[in-house]
Structure 1
């Protein structure tokens, strides 16, 4: 079976722009959550969010692209630039038709759409930008990344809210197994405008708290909802043999994936999260005891957190595996949240540190071994990332350290490369 390796990471998150800034802030437990500043939120019941710190698209993109693109696409393009630079891909490494893009989207270009609708109603249709025809579309990130980098191979977009980020990476793995050599994948979302904010509030999952330290506390008895964040992560995924052949640095490999969907409550179906986790473990050909850390979804409501805690306990046993939710520092970034968790898992493998969950003071689930407040050293092994989307989507993905012959990722310029003993390929 073809093995897929992750060779590049680009992260844009509320607590850090760029992978290393994000990771350093995450290990320090620094939050990017605060009162939203991009528009007046004083009249809304929810006022906190995770905004990117000082992101100016003019610093990252050609001026001609800026009027054509929504903020989410501008962030996605910057993150894809960082990921491909991190992968150190030579221009002639692969044919353009061997490389593609699969991203996840949840909202689309809400901010762009609101601005052009304002133009329509206040100035008339002749003042609506021609770029509105595609800038609002949730698939536009895939198209713009493909155009910017000349990636003419398989392309697609997956919509599944928070779970969609894992689903997109899984689709990238499928395309690699079908013969592609490299896929740029992940997810980025941003909808910090009145139109997007009202859409989020209508979902009834947002916290109404005004204290950034208590508004979003998954697995805590005080949980009252989540805080939205903007941003996400873009990853470079390659066929492992091809990556080794070009001497690529490998962060880790995608070992397994599973996805399920919850039946509506009126049909009496059990939540499908446990089945998604078990499917991912089976796909990776690993036992529950082989998983060394779980990156939890962390919905931030008592009911949803209880469902997740029960699924983790059912699969692994009470307190049997460390569990963390670093998104407590960023808010839930919709389609960007799970790819950011994948990035965290890969960096945890690289550095031997599990990032913490912050602000949880009164854990609601005694069965969970939560990593709280400070990083926890670990012997890197297989990591499980869980994601759920509004409406019943459940996804789970297993990552493992670099396999046979791969050059493992190491931190810092000039660091000595090391080789990691390989588990069997699946």
Structure 2
């Protein structure tokens, strides 16, 4: 679809000019992306604490991440692991965008903003302080507990570290929130900002965090990593958690060109968010409406979508609802569908990783696979990419996400030419 005659042409275009990834599978864009194309799983036994007494013992963990190598010591002691991952990802994304200290100095501090997603918050830091409270008393609880757990902590710390004083915010909508945060970054650009750090990370692989996730009833308790997280499969039994995520640099295209941005991974072309109706209402879940509205926002027809990155809950009823939504919008087996998160676990606020993965698919014209252990259920009528990457072209991608509690989001990403 093309803009209607007479449509405004001066609305800022939101380009993604930088990616920073800290995820199961790898730290850094190319390390992570290579692992995804190889179908290499980052799922394994939980090692961040002794999980032997818990029903879930598998998760996706970020390999080789050492906070002391990536976060200044004075800042590390004030913040939780999810913020450590976010700070490292933001630093890498700025470097990838060619927006180092000199480039940022050329922008007004009020032209730069930070919008992130949050889900679990600082659970690991909080658990440590709660244990001190119980075992030693309130005088042994650190002052930083008051800020380290806070859902806006990562936004605040990135803003302070890089002198970004434009419109900053945080969106808490679990898995859907990462897509919503990037859409809000696009709105911030339309309101006059020039550069936004956006995305999200999560890190709740501690007893406190895991127990909170168990309360959803959606986690897999299987102990075989190859069969523990198998969405759209007859054996689907829940998902596995993961830590990590991605930060993205979102810029007004004209501003990015003026500063000589080295590349643009793609454009955030469309977005929509919906809520599911009350249980028992008889009305359909809201995911299909989110997808249709995102396509409308992007002025994109369903047949123009080259791949869908699925939410992939691996809960039979939710898989059925997502597969039905995709079949109704795109037709049965009408578009390739993939779920690389089967190789990392579901990252909640770190679902910005799905967006980064989709942009890399656009960059390299290839669809990364769903884990090889998944056997697609024929009743779902999905063209699921499993086991091996599939060649493109990949010009336009749709990312779908659902958050616990009935939140849905869809984001359309489109290839762009930084040369204009």
Class of the TM-score when normalised by the shorter of the 2 chains: over 0.9
Structure 2 residue 237 is matched with structure 1 residue 194: no
Moved beyond 3 Å, runs of 4+: none
Q: Which has the larger displacement, 377-386 or 352-361? A: 352-361
What is the distance in 2 between the residues matched to 1:293 and 1:244?
28
Match of residue 64 from structure 2: 54
Retained in 2: the 8 A contact 1:226–1:331? yes
What is the distance in 2 between the residues matched to 1:69 and 1:119?
17
TM-score normalised by the chain length of structure 1 = 0.93
Which of 111, 114, 129 matches 2:127? 114
Deviations 1:68-123 (A, max 9, x none): 11000000000000000001011334211100100000011001011001111111
- Unaligned runs of 5+ residues in structure 2 are 1-10
What is the distance in 2 between the residues matched to 1:348 and 1:363?
22
Match of residue 239 from structure 1: 252
What is the distance in 1 between the residues matched to 2:30 and 2:106?
26
Retained in 1: the 8 A contact 2:155–2:169? yes
TM-score normalised by the chain length of structure 2 = 0.95
Q: CA deviation at 1:366?
A: 4.8
Retained in 2: the 8 A contact 1:217–1:359? no
Alignment of 1:268-307 (within 5 A): 268-307=282-321
Alignment of 1:11-410 (within 5 A): 11-89=21-99, 90-248=103-261, 249-337=263-351, 339-364=352-377, 365-403=379-417, 406-407=418-419
Q: What secondary structure is seen at the aligned counterpart in 2 of 1:91? A: helix
Deviations 1:204-260 (A, max 9, x none): 000010011000011111100000000000000000111112221111001100110
Retained in 1: the 8 A contact 2:39–2:372? no
What is the distance in 2 between the residues matched to 1:307 and 1:219?
10
Q: CA deviation at 1:349?
A: 0.9
Retained in 2: the 8 A contact 1:12–1:52? yes
Deviations 1:277-328 (A, max 9, x none): 0000000001101111100000011111111111011000111111000000
Q: CA deviation at 1:367?
A: 1.4
What is the distance in 1 between the residues matched to 2:373 and 2:235?
9
Q: Aligned Cα RMSD in Å? A: 1.0
- Unaligned runs of 5+ residues in structure 1 are 408-421
Q: What secondary structure is seen at the aligned counterpart in 2 of 1:205? A: coil
Q: What secondary structure is seen at the aligned counterpart in 1 of 2:296? A: helix
Q: CA deviation at 1:362?
A: 2.5
What is the distance in 1 between the residues matched to 2:373 and 2:316?
13
What is the distance in 2 between the residues matched to 1:259 and 1:361?
28
Q: Number of matched residues?
A: 405
Q: What secondary structure is seen at the aligned counterpart in 1 of 2:295? A: helix
Retained in 1: the 8 A contact 2:133–2:141? yes
Deviations 1:114-166 (A, max 9, x none): 10011111112111111111001111000001011111101000011100000
Q: What secondary structure is seen at the aligned counterpart in 2 of 1:332? A: coil
Q: What secondary structure is seen at the aligned counterpart in 2 of 1:257? A: strand
Q: CA deviation at 1:360?
A: 4.1
